Structure 1
Amino acid sequence: MVTWVGRTSGGLPGPRIVQAYIDWLINLSVAPGRQLEILEALIRRSADLVKAALLGSEPTDDRRFRGEGWQKRPYAWLVQAALHRDELARIATEPLPGMDAHNAELVRFYTQQLVDALSPANFALTNPEFVQATIAQRGKNLLRGARFAIGDAVRTITGTDPETAEQFKVGETLATTPGKVVYRNALMELIQYSPSTEDVHAEPILYVPAWIMKYYILDLSPSNSMIRWLVEQGHTVFAISWKNPGKEDSDLSMEDYRTLGVASAMEVIGDIMPERKVHAVGYCVGGTLLMIAAAVMARGGDNRLQSITLFAAQTDFTDAGELRLFIDEMTLYWLEQQMKRNGFLATKQMGGAFAALRAPDLLWQPMLRRYCLGEDNSGFDIMAWNADGTRMPCRMHSDYLRQLYLKNELAQGKYVAGGAAISIGDISAPLYIVGTTADHIAPWESVYKTRNLKKLGETMFCLTKGGHNAGIVSEPGRPRRSFVAGGWDETSAYQSPEVWQASAEPHEGSWWIHWQEWLVGRSSPERTSPPPMGAPDKGHVVLGDAPGTYVFQR
């Protein structure tokens, strides 16, 4: 029964939500002060609505209602009604004395989801933009929207590729940077990219992607591929491409991802480029895995890392954002019962949680624009990548959520890897951390907490505009881009995220250039001839062209 309900709810913890609302109702029933506050707000806002209906209302800066049509009646009144409802919901769901803190967060979050869903911007007849478009286009937008809806429904039922797959194809328009697969094991392929300069920087770069999605977020179209750009700057780049796990991989653990992933890649690179240290780069949970691997190496006196870079990656999960709402013992049990059936967590289950975090932007508005306004909003390479997820093995995902998110063992020095507990504080390699201002998966204030854990050597923190992905894929030349950056070492006094942000140096343009200059400043001064592709004498022969075979697994 648990498995069936979990599948039909998209993986969200239904019973946990009910439990939270029962807690809220019980505590609200014995809080006359809060009841009176809600009643007063209801009376006051009702009077405001009557006034707005008779005399009109002031424009709002809410970005959902910025269009000119929203300033006219009756839509202006609908805006005021929505804003008043939002305020009432906020007052009603503020934490109550005696209420469990996590339950209070759940009630606040899901109540906000409800009021967001009921916004007049999400309904065709109460959205002036839709009404105006329908009149101007004589209903042609509805015909286009119907075609989109039918096509999307057919693809969902038949399990065929999304519409973006027709325009963006891996190996043809995406992930096209030339390279070779020089190593493959049961969990990953290692890609070595072909040089495009006569000489190269001495130390190579190893990219460790998140295992939640395919690796090519950093090798999208040629115009915004970070990997291609790094190669053009004279860097030798290696990238891990994770296998898409199946039921047979259900028992793979986080330790397997460390040993078969990061550790194996480091060994192969050492065979191809002996006596050369490595600039290691980790993205999202790939960055968390990289820091675990680096801590194991530091504990053993292994100094093969020239530097470490983290893109939107967390090591302290105390304040890991709203994603923590989905993580407690009941929810983990819920997920584990679902995963036992197939041996993995499916991409659609992950997608439900991620979409819920930003439902107005990722769910309601895209649906309205596609199905009501008839706009084709699928023509972006990053959306094609976003639809190309990977599964997560049951054991690994459970361990990751329980040990890192729920128990926060890595930040506490209790996480066990390589047979013993590890500490981020043992890592002394220079560290460059990138956070993004609008990240709903890894909030930059949480990413910043790595400063508290890494006590040795220098660290540079960069805060760039954008979200979890768009802030990272921020190639030089893209307009309206800026960032702030500032560093410290073990002798520096602690600064809170807010104080650091206020004092950090502002920059216009792409942070890629700042980071690449930082890498060069921590590399050997001499450039060398490009290394061979693979190391046949060590058994690392070329197995095929990039992007390899694992990236095509469905």
Structure 2
Amino acid sequence: MDQEKTPDHPQFRLPDPALVTRTMSEVAERGQRIVTDFLKRQAESDSTPDPLNIGGAFLDMTARLMANPARLMQAQLGFWQDYLTLWQNTARRMMGAETPPVIAEDPRDRRFKDEAWRENEVFDFIKQSYLLSARYFQTVVGGVEGLDPKSAQKVDFYTRQFVDAMSPSNFLLTNPEVLRRTAETGGENLLKGLSHLLADLERGKGRLRIRMSDDSKFRVGENIAVTPGKVVYQNDLMQLIQYAPTTPTVLKRPLLILPPWINKFYILDLRPRNSFIRWAVDQGHTVFVTSWVNPDATLAEKGFEDYMQEGIYDALTAIEQATGENQVNAIGYCLGGTLLATTLAHMAAKGDTRITSATYFVTMTDFAEAGELGVFIDEEQLHCLEERMQKHGYLEGREMATTFNMLRANDLIWSFVVNNYLLGQEPFPFDLLYWNDDSTRMPARMHSYYLRHMYQQNDLVKPGALELLGEAVDLRRIKVPSYLISTREDHIAPWKSTYRATQIYAGPVRFVLAASGHIAGVVNPPDSGKYSHWVNESLPPDPEDWFKGATELAGSWWPDWHRWVTALNKDQIPARVPGTGKLPAIEDAPGSYVKVMATD
């Protein structure tokens, strides 16, 4: 058999000389321009040398670690014993013996999905060496005693960032899939990867902005965010979209959806097959959605109160004009849910009853345990962030996106480094990742208020600690029925933190936990047949007790929510057509606000 053509020994071919010449010429020209532009911007910047305030935490950790050398020595001995066993097992494998792994990867870890990581002795040794080292690093830093909780969380988080970055899957010479592709293409994959890298540096204006999806395949309003409807109202902060009915009769109470303004609303309207908005319309809801503006410097002074007034209150007034109804069901997603809860507490203080039920998608109101996002919230980092926002009047959209991506670095950073730069492949056209890359800016005043009063000081959960629009806010005065959907693998709004709201609201509460994460667990249509959810009619104070008594049900939670909300009021009326009420149509959905990109 011709060995060069077997799957284990692919035929090696030289790259096309013309391609090499053209690529290296482009590298020289584009690289010089990128570096020049980047250095110019750095010279104009007065950013601090440690904007994430990491150094202090690691210095404290190191001092405490050195104060207990016996613990460090014990960890080192365990590491070297495991490493010696790995050497012995690898030698035995090379002699033909079967040996169990010293350490096994998580079956869900996609970095090591290639069979060579298990079947080839050398790559199996590289993989296990890395896993042992990663475990050693994390055991050492996780075992340091005496660190304050914030420093301990920061040290743990950035240690994992370092460990993830050092994975052998991220490097050419230690990734069997990349080596195989390099042999098959004669290195053309690396030339293409270099071109992709330069393009991403150009997109980020000198900072790496990794392309996660083939964005040429998507157009907002053409093949995503295509549920028919009309913009019926707009102000400085939002456009209000009313969607066209698909049923002859509709529920009397309209449905108002408040997405987060950290992202664009069409996460709930990606494609017809996974659109929550379209599904809700098909169930007979008259759906209204706030499409938030992508703010620029002219909106720098817009604050949290403005989002309450120009977001929820103006939307309620507009809905009444459009439909004649002064009572609605409301949904808030993530930060939109925090806004909804805050406004409901304000409405309770005023005796305003226009919102008759509240649904919260993965929403935190008690930020005492805010998860890994808390790593980025301390006085030093907030001060640095506020200084940057004051220069422009807003927070750059990419900064928030980078923070979220770091929470799942292997999935949202390193997998694309391997695919785009080492394998030289084009990213797959994926609607969810296209949306993830379509970032939004944050008005400086609003974002500073939100981070300080919610995340840092946790004022929202303290009765009367916040005064907004002339009223003291107390979440315990919220008496409307509440439906809370959280997700078990949420890195942004941990479900045990969102569960705390069940002990706060005064009205009846239903808590449902879905499988998967912050996005996939929410955007999970019934037809997909994916992910389960848990229900429990009782609401004990401890979320673990709730989970122990919960029943797992197959599939999407959407039908459970629909049964819950329609049980509150089943009254039906003839379908409402957008633009036929007292509010004329301004333009077709999805409107113009959502099409403004952070780079425009």
TM-score above 0.5? yes
Superposed CA offset, 1:423-444 (max 9, x none): 2111111111111122111111
Kindly indicate whether residue 590 of structure 2 is the aligned counterpart of residue 547 of structure 1.
yes
> How far off its partner does 1:526 sit?
2.7
Aligned residue for 2:339?
289
- Spell out the pairing of 1:496-511 with structure 2 (5 A cutoff): 496-511=542-557
Residue 92 of structure 1 deviates from its aligned partner by 1.7
Q: Distance in 2 between matches of 1:528 and 1:204?
A: 11
SS in 2 for 1:377: coil
Deviation, 1:378, is 3.6
2:581 is the counterpart of 1:533: no
Give a deviation string over 1:332-387, Cα, whole Å, max 9, x none: 00101111111111011112211211111111112102222344334011111111
Partner residue in 2 for 1:255: 305
Counting matched residue pairs gives: 543
Shift of 1:134: 3.7
Compared CA separation, residues 516 and 104, structure 1 to 2 (3 A): same
Spell out, residue by residue over 1:403-453, the C-alpha distance to the aligned partner (whole angstroms, 9 max, x if none). 000111111222222323212111111111111122111111111111121
Q: Secondary structure at the match of 2:321?
A: helix
- Aligned equivalent of 2:21: none
Higher mean displacement: 270-279 or 391-400: 270-279
CA distance in 1, matches of 2:469, 2:49: 33
Residue 325 in structure 1 maps to residue 375 in structure 2: yes
Rounded to whole Å, the distance in 2 between the matches of 1:155 and 1:483 is 39
Distance between the aligned counterparts of 1:186 and 1:550, measured in 2?
Answer: 10
Change in 2 beyond 3 A, CA 1:544/1:110 = same
Which segment drifts farther, 504-513 or 307-316? 504-513
Q: What's the offset of the Cα at 1:296? A: 0.8
Give unpaired runs (5+ residues) of structure 2. Answer: 1-40, 94-98
Partner of 1:480: 530
Q: Are the aligned partners of 1:195 and 1:231 in contact in 2 as well (CA < 8 Å)?
A: yes
Matching residue within 391, 395, 398 for 1:345: 395
Post-superposition offset of 1:457: 2.4
Q: Distance in 2 between matches of 1:12 and 1:385?
A: 32
Deviation (angstroms), 1:152: 3.4
Picking from 200, 219, 235, the partner of 1:152 is: 200
Residue type of the alignment partner of 2:591: G
- Aligned residue type for 1:515: W
| 1:394 equivalent in alignment to 2:444 | yes
Cα separation, partners in 2 of 1:412 and 1:129, compared to 1, 3 Å: same
Aligned-partner SS, 2:527: coil
- CA offsets 1:231-260 (integer angstroms, 9 cap, x no match): 111110000011111111111111111111
Distance 1:22 1:179 in 2: 56
| Residue of structure 2 in register with 1:100 after alignment | 148
Structure 1, gaps ≥5 residues long: none
1:444 maps to which residue? 495
1:274 is aligned with what amino acid? G
Once the two structures are superposed, the pairs formed by residues 488-499 of structure 1 within 5 Å of their partners are 488=538, 494-499=540-545
- Counterpart for residue 427 of structure 1: 478
Please give the root-mean-square deviation of Cα atoms over the aligned residues, in Å: 2.5
Is 1:220 aligned to 2:270, yes or no?
A: yes
Q: Give the stretch that moved more between structures: 261-270 or 53-62.
A: 53-62
What TM-score, normalized to structure 2?
A: 0.85
1:297 offset after TM fit, Å?
Answer: 1.0
What is the alpha-carbon distance in structure 2 between the residues aligned to residue 7 and residue 469 of structure 1?
35
Q: Any idea what SS the aligned residue of 1:477 has?
A: helix
In 2, the alpha carbon distance for the partners of 1:144 and 1:475 equals 37
Per-residue deviation, 1:499: 2.1
The alpha-carbon distance between structure 1 residues 12 and 217, as it changes in their structure 2 partners (threshold 3 A), is: farther
What are the equivalent positions in structure 2 for 1:201-216 lying under 5 Å apart? 201-216=251-266
Letter in 1 for 2:334: C
Is 1:73 the counterpart of 2:121? The answer is yes
1:114-153: CA deviation from partner (whole Å, max 9, x where unpaired): 1111111221221222223444556564455455445434
Q: CA deviation at 1:391?
A: 0.3
Q: Decide whether aligned partners of structure 1 residues 545 and 417 sit closer, same or farther in structure 2, where only a CA change above 3 A counts.
A: same
Determine the C-alpha separation between the residues in 2 that align with 1:161 and 1:186. 31
The structural deviation recorded for 1:267 is: 1.3
Residues 81 and 141 of structure 1, relative CA distance in 2, 3 Å threshold: same
2:82 pairs with one of 30, 45, 48:
45
Mapped contact 1:95–1:101 kept (Cα < 8 A): no
Distance 1:252 1:225 in 2: 30
Give the CA deviation at 1:275: 4.1
SS of residue matched to 1:433: strand
2:595 partner amino acid: F
Q: 1:229 — aligned with what?
A: 279
Q: Specify the alignment match of 1:58 in structure 2.
A: 100
Q: 1:238 aligns with which of 288, 298, 308?
A: 288
**Against the structure 1 CA distance between its residues 38 and 511, is the aligned structure 2 distance closer, same or farther, given a 3 Å change threshold?**
same
CA contact (8 A) 1:312 1:434 kept: yes
Matched, 1:514 2:556: no
8 Å CA contact 1:224–1:474 kept in 2: the answer is: yes
Could you tell me how far 1:187 is from its partner in structure 2?
A: 0.9
User: Which is worse superposed, 16-25 or 128-137?
Assistant: 128-137
- 54-63 vs 240-249, which deviates more? 54-63
Between 324-333 and 441-450, report the one with greater CA deviation: 441-450
| 3-state SS in 1 of match to 2:91 | helix
Q: 1:381 to 1:257 in 2, by over 3 A?
A: same
Counterpart residue number, 2:170:
122
Deviation digits for residues 468-494 of structure 1, max 9, x if unmatched? 111111112113321112334xxx6x2
Query: Residue type of the partner of 2:585?
Result: V
> Alpha carbons of 1:535 and 1:257: their partners in 2 closer, same or farther (altered >3 Å)?
farther
